[in-house]
Structure 1
């Protein structure tokens, strides 16, 4: 081959989507680079195949010593770039011995993870010393990596690359989605919901509908469970509660594309890869994983990039910086309980000017935080000894 392969690893859907702007920037600067992607989950692999049809995409093997020699002989990666904090000791040791430079990008360490690694530091510190560069989201994570064994000279602060996310539907026809609803339909998207949240949202929606039928009769709640294995469970919940709903998977399979004969109370988004398009259609978004404890929330920027306000609960540990910027600078609307959610939903649908202004603020907040990808690319090129014009 007249080029070498760069290996990117993202655990699941969120990490793969986060890598999109970085990989596109890398390909623009190094167009002859071969591209290998690995994921930990099937949904992550499906997302990677859809976003990067030009790449070789495989599931990451188990972290067993004998696996990596076979993997290396087959794919021959020249560089390894790992999203966030996926650390596998056998993998790291083997590829370091093979002279493959290793980088962690958009890396972060929560306090819980930091305490766990520190408790077992006799075993984990050699692993943290291996990466050639660790590009961190925030100074606190940088300090934690240093305390766990990463040389401070190898730690670079970039900010969060999720602020640089691209719209992954670029080049995909939007007619499929825009023809679903009439312009007057108020589409509200509850994205990446978890157990307990669907029932809560349905209770609040029904209560609002009873109080304000004129407003909510022309609205549609698009409900998108986070995990595909829960699609049937949520459909059963909707049926048991007597909610008028449609499954998007059935509509999408129809000849001529999806058509809604009439707007249902709930559209169950039971397909993969479509949520981002429905955020684009929505008046505003409700971010799942934030309304019940134990999850920590999902990426609010996927809605903010389309100038949509982000409604969320208080459980946001996984994306504290993203929600924090939106709440502080505009575009984030936090609710503390069901009553607050009810009141906010009514206001958002009663006052289109209010929710439109909050959406504009959300997009402006996102733009102000961008730049992490360019800083990350510069760090990778310096670490790998590359120039933009290098034919690698």
Structure 2
């Protein structure tokens, strides 16, 4: 444990040194400044706190169905949400489903004690991969009911290494480990943990709710007109290289491309290379006419999940980098999905590929060969769409299992 604590101290120093040059590091430091004072001023000492910790935005969306179910069924509880990453906190710091939203302090023994002295949670819920050893040890010492949800364990993870003793010990803090699959439950059983429950992934519940609450977007409706629409979400440069060629080879199809980062140079290059003409969402007004323009660049945040509802096909970016982004938001609308080759660590992507609802592509020729039959064969398109939709429907229900177990 001493090595872990040295690592935490070193991490804190590195972030401070980087803060002068890197925006995210500066936000990380600024967001934690006088954290305990701000917590003490805001958190009601008499409140019955349910604490939900997430790493960043993706884990927040994973925990959100649980937060909202608790809010609805147990209105006497106050909900505290903490983030580790500035990118998640910055976007969701005004989220109305929680009573208190803060950064998580650096995980040192002193910070863990101070944090829990102020928060005093009745229940602590960690989402997916969050294992903070000092906090977990302190929660266990205080006998706070503690859970991890939507977790996945793999044999090559630190828990199964010869040097993973302190990480295995940390798992003893959890009253129940809600895991996504049977393999995770079997691996935990090998370590002597019989308190794992296969609940599944709460993201299926979240995307189902997103689909039910999808917004009507006038710009997208008018842009699409009577054409069929291809939506590419969270794209990066290598994805856009392929998509430009697909657009130019399919002038009768309209495209919406939502870049993962609003890089002005990349967006300008994308627009310039699109033969059929393009327009940026942020430049559209009620008087904008789209005519034959083929590309709408979704250069804003918060709309992509609803835009999928207008589409016939989809592409998910990130697969030529560290990994693909959210495939379920597209699949829940029954969209066939394509993405780059780096998808293997995402179970839902592997499942969709196995079922035939998704296709990994390594180059433009593979993307073209995936798209052509889905464009030209309506029966094949409908069959593929049903597979995607049925998969997301079949895996819903994790939130019910978790909330029912935690608050039984």
The TM-score with structure 1 as length reference comes to 0.81
Partner residue of 1:299? 326
Deviations 1:181-216 (A, max 9, x none): 24313221111223422223223433x2xxxxxxx3
Aligned counterpart for 1:126 among listed residues 137, 153, 169: 169
Partner residue of 1:167? 209
Structure 1 Cα separation of the partners of residues 382 and 93 of structure 2: 34
**Residues 32-181 of structure 1 correspond to what in structure 2 (within 5 A)?**
32-49=76-93, 52-112=96-156, 114-115=157-158, 118-147=161-190, 151-165=192-206, 166-168=208-210, 173-176=215-218, 178-181=220-223
Structure 1 Cα separation of the partners of residues 121 and 336 of structure 2: 41
**Residues 1-392 of structure 1 correspond to what in structure 2 (within 5 A)?**
3-49=47-93, 52-112=96-156, 114-115=157-158, 118-147=161-190, 151-165=192-206, 166-168=208-210, 173-176=215-218, 178-206=220-248, 208=249, 216-226=250-260, 228=261, 231-238=263-270, 241=273, 244-251=277-284, 254=285, 259=288, 261-262=290-291, 264-290=293-319, 292=320, 294-320=321-347, 322-329=348-355, 331-335=357-361, 337-381=363-407, 387=408
Corresponding residue pairs, total: 362
Cα distance change, pair 89–356 in 1 and its aligned pair in 2 (3 A): same
Higher relative contact order (CA 8 A, sep 6+): 1
Structure 2 Cα separation of the partners of residues 366 and 23 of structure 1: 21
**Partner-residue secondary structure (3-state), 1:317:** coil
RMSD, matched Cα: 2.9
**Partner-residue secondary structure (3-state), 2:223:** coil
Which structure 1 residue ranges, 4+ long, deviate > 6 Å from structure 2?
A: none
Q: 1:82: Cα distance to partner? A: 0.9
Q: 1:35: Cα distance to partner? A: 1.2
8 Å CA contact retained: 1:222, 1:266: yes
Q: 1:330: Cα distance to partner? A: 5.1
Deviations 1:363-392 (A, max 9, x none): 1122222222222223323xxxxx4xxxxx
Structure 1 Cα separation of the partners of residues 254 and 160 of structure 2: 45
For structure 2, the residue ranges without an aligned partner over 5 or more in a row are 1-43
Structure 2 Cα separation of the partners of residues 173 and 240 of structure 1: 30
Deviations 1:20-46 (A, max 9, x none): 222233233322221111223333235
8 Å CA contact retained: 2:322, 2:342: yes
For structure 1, the residue ranges without an aligned partner over 5 or more in a row are 209-215, 382-386, 388-392
8 Å CA contact retained: 1:177, 1:278: no
Partner residue of 1:390? none
The TM-score with structure 2 as length reference comes to 0.78
8 Å CA contact retained: 1:309, 1:332: yes
8 Å CA contact retained: 1:308, 1:356: no
